[in-house]
Amino acid sequence: MLSFIMRKMQSNKWMIACLLIGNILLCAMVASVPLYSDAILQRMLIRQLNERQLDTNRYSGSIEIRFSSLSVNKGYEKQALLSFEQNIANMAEELALPVLERVSVYSTTQQRAVNLNERPISIDNRLLRLRYMSDLSSHIELISGRMYSDSLNDGVIEVIVNERTLIEQDMLIDEVVELPNLKHSDGSGVRIKVVGTYKNSSENDLYWYYPPQEFSDVCIMSESLFGELFLADLPEDFHLSNSWYLILDYTQMQSGDVERIGRVSAEYKDIFDRYGVNACRINYLTTVQAFPQEMLRLNITLWVLQAPIFVLLAFFIFMVSKQIMEQERNSIAVLKSRGASRAQIIRIFLGQSAIISLVSAIAGIPLGFLICKLLGASNGFLGLVQRSALDVRFNTETLLYTLCAAVLSVLTMVIPAVGFSRVTIVDHKRTQTRKKRPAWSVFFADILLLGFSLYILYNYNAQKDIISPASIDPLLYLASSMFMIGAGLFFLRIFPYALKLVFSLGKKYWSPSLYASFLKVTRSAGEEQFIMLFLVLTIATGIFNAKAARTINMNIEENVRYRYGADIVVMEDWKTNAGDETATMAVYFEPDAEKYKQLPPSVHYTKVQDTSRLSVSSIKNVRLMGINTKEFGEIAWFRNDLLPTHWYNYLNAMASDPRAVLASIDFRDIHGYNLGDSISVRNSNGMYFTGIICGFVDFWPTHTQTTTGTARDGSLVTVNNSLIVANLSQVQAMWGVMPYELWMKTDAPLEIYAFAESNNLKFSAFADSAATITASKNEPVMQGTNGVLTVGFIIVLVVCMTGFLIYWILSIRSRELQFGIFRAMGMSMGGVIKMLVCEQVLISVISIAVGTAIGYITSELYVPLIQLGYSAEANSLPLKVASESGDYGRLFAIVGIMFAACMTALSAIISKIRIAQALKLGED
């Protein structure tokens, strides 16, 4: 049977090749999800741990464990120490991360130190502690003197100290000091002698969790001697202060192990914390505990965004498989009539499908690696940048998902064979004269899909104000695919009737070629349904991907610019009289503003006073923004569609009267203010500023209407934010000069950085919107979103072109007899080409136009659902669905090329048809 299957595949090699392309793309897309997810999450994990290290100034892989023995029960103390040592060893083993350093530190409590000579010392109460640190000699450099001895020297313990201890404790090398409260077993006081000073051998040595210069009372002695004197037989009243530092190589953490590492770390932290409050400090724990949520968010985003592509590829595979079986209907009927069972016929196509899927899985995984590279280099829709390559590694999930995709692909290819395997030669001849309605039409799948998708949309719009982004049902995202499929099927339902209507209206006037085109399409509309639906879904998916990507990216950029207000916002340190106890009110001293006049001509700036925690009557926490209207309008960023009229009109109204102010909409809707009312704002000094309301605004640069917080009982609380916008000169006239920001507009932000560096400026606040936007685009979910939508857009075009050419080339070859008859009847070659062009218009052009309309409608309805998953809490602006003409240009350019290539191929095929051979074919 295998040789039979191979010969059958070879005889239909072009269709098999197209089927192989679709399967390879499907396997590659499925394989790319776990590959990219693992690679980008790995990069994100290490980056977050690096940032954690910078924030805490502690190595991210560090674990600090403390135990202070305060019990007089020496048995308990020894048992606790042994328990700590064992648990630390177990913890290191279970975490399964490379241990860079493991340091044990045992210290006595602080002990009073007494000089044995009569030398006066500079401090009244000298307190010292004895300590040992494991493997110390490999991590220090002796500055003077020598290393301590491992045994007592004339009953004296030799120690080394750092320079700070030597100076602050007023100690001398080789001077003996007694610790009278710390006694040997014979009751004599412990004596110590400093024999050397040391420093850490390297500033970046991870061994030193706390650098030695942080301690001013530590004398380090021999580890073995410490154990012999103080650990072998603990005195009843002796206490220890112990620390263990476990330094793990966090760069070897794998994103797939994060949950296990977080769980194990938390379990051991609970064990150690039983011995004291916060006895165990794990620097990476907060990061790894929050990481699974980010993993889940990224994985859901990738799968949801690729779902329409999977549907399209599955549909393409199904379409090609059905086309292959349509061509082999005669062969299947002959086999059936000669005694072949249905199971045998299904096994033939099952074997063929298995071979194709196996090859596709093998080829799809390397292509999935390439797709991951494209995803990692994405910097916006259809934009790739040079970025450090992702460390893409093969994992078991990739193999599992690829095999699942291959199995589903086999099922998709075999499903048509189930129906065709029933057909005998008699049934085949009967079906050629009968038209059967497709199953989706009989069961109204189009109406059901449209109704369900619109219900999901309605349900979301009714509850969107209370939906949390973290609890969004992924079904919301799939609604767009349901809507596109349902709308495409509905178009197929009404298309034959619309076509017949147009044909009947003009059949007296159609030319022969146009008449033949209408007749062909109206009489065989069922045959074109798959290619029409395929084109509709392809174009609609391409447009939806393009608009979704542009909308998401533009919305993030606009929200950043809106929250910041300008390209760059800075504030210098303002000095105040806060330290003056006799001051009765706060006075601010303005930094020199003249230096900013030296900024390059490309940089424009304005002063903006932004003061919070003010009050208006009983309204608390009012915010006042003082601006220079002309400069503010030229420099601030604001979207023109946010207010009922252009926002410049509001600035002009303020400029007409120095006392004119703008108020946020809550002053009108909640507090009852009207246009023309006076409003008085009180500051922290008890001074009032009075203005006249000339307008109310829902939006204003940096203003967020409401803020959502969490109450003590865990419920969400929404607080209205109140804003007053006034003329800066009037505010300063009433209140004096108060701290203000400088808002800057520039196309070259590096010039501002260079200016600040050259003038040695120090800012208490600095915000760069361009840098924040870049950081947002580098965020893994955004990279994945842009990458998936870009790759999906490209795959849509490739599949569209492939499927289109397949259909029309096969259609032409199956109609050679018809063309031969037309030529024999006297129709010119130009007439035949014209007939084909008319068919292209009736089938392809109309499908593309409908697909464009469906893609546009789907984007307007469902793109806001996709936007829910992208930091919705940071969205201050209402969503605006965006598009870019260049995306449509690329899409329709490919479609145009596709048409041109198709017509060229069809013309070449038709020109080679010989009338005599075509007529003989008909006789046969």
What is the pLDDT of the chain when averaged over all its residues? 79
Distance, CA of 306 to CA of 770 (rounded, Å) = 29
pLDDT mean over 787-795 = 71
**Greatest Cα-to-Cα distance within the chain, rounded to the nearest angstrom:** 133
Check residues 84 and 62 and name the one with the higher pLDDT. 62
* Token representation of residue 432: 């050629």
Alpha helices in 192-284 (DSSP H): 223-226, 258-273
Q: What is the pLDDT of residue 696?
A: 94
Q: What is the pLDDT of residue 470?
A: 46
* Token representation of residue 617: 């009557």
What does DSSP say about strands 240-248 and 99-108: parallel, antiparallel, or unpaired? Answer: antiparallel
Residue 333 has pLDDT above 70, yes or no: no
Distance, CA of 374 to CA of 383 (rounded, Å) = 10
Q: What is the pLDDT of residue 76?
A: 56
Q: How confident is the model at residue 71 (pLDDT cuts 50, 70, 90)?
A: very low
Distance, CA of 295 to CA of 252 (rounded, Å) = 18
Q: What is the pLDDT of residue 854?
A: 92
Check residues 389 and 19 and name the one with the higher pLDDT. 19
329's torsion region: left (phi>0), alpha (psi -120 to 50) or beta? alpha
Give the tens place of pLDDT for each residue, 95-143: 888 888 888 888 888 888 888 877 777 777 888 989 989 888 888 888 9
Residue 401 has pLDDT above 70, yes or no: yes
Q: What is the pLDDT of residue 910?
A: 67
* Token representation of residue 275: 């011995």
Residue 922 has pLDDT above 50, yes or no: no
In this structure, of 208-212, 459-463, 643-647, the range with the lowest mean pLDDT score is 459-463
Q: How confident is the model at residue 419 (pLDDT cuts 50, 70, 90)?
A: low
Residues 12 and 806 sit within 8 Å (Cβ to Cβ):
no
Distance, CA of 812 to CA of 905 (rounded, Å) = 10
pLDDT mean over 357-379 = 77
The pTM is what?
0.69
Residues 291 and 520 sit within 8 Å (Cβ to Cβ):
no
Give the tens place of pLDDT for each residue, 19-57: 787 788 788 878 877 787 777 778 788 888 888 888 788
Query: Could you give the angle at which helices 342-376 and 2-11 cross, rounded to 10 degrees?
Result: 60
Residue 398 has pLDDT above 80, yes or no: yes
pLDDT mean over 47-69 = 82
* Token representation of residue 682: 């009180």
Give the tens place of pLDDT for each residue, 560-573: 899 999 999 999 88
Question: Which residue, 639, 555, 561, is CA-closest to 871?
Answer: 555
Residue 181, CB-side half-sphere exposure with 13 Å CA sphere: 14
Check residues 269 and 509 and name the one with the higher pLDDT. 269
Question: Which residue, 923, 921, 913, 922, is CA-closest to 823?
Answer: 913
Q: What is the pLDDT of residue 388?
A: 58
Q: What is the pLDDT of residue 651?
A: 94
pLDDT mean over 651-663 = 93
Percent of the chain with pLDDT over 70: 80
Within 10 angstroms of residue 439's Cβ, the number of other Cβ atoms is 9
Give the tens place of pLDDT for each residue, 586-615: 788 888 888 888 888 888 999 999 888 888
**Residues with Cβ < 8 Å from 596, sequence gap 6 or more?**
605, 742
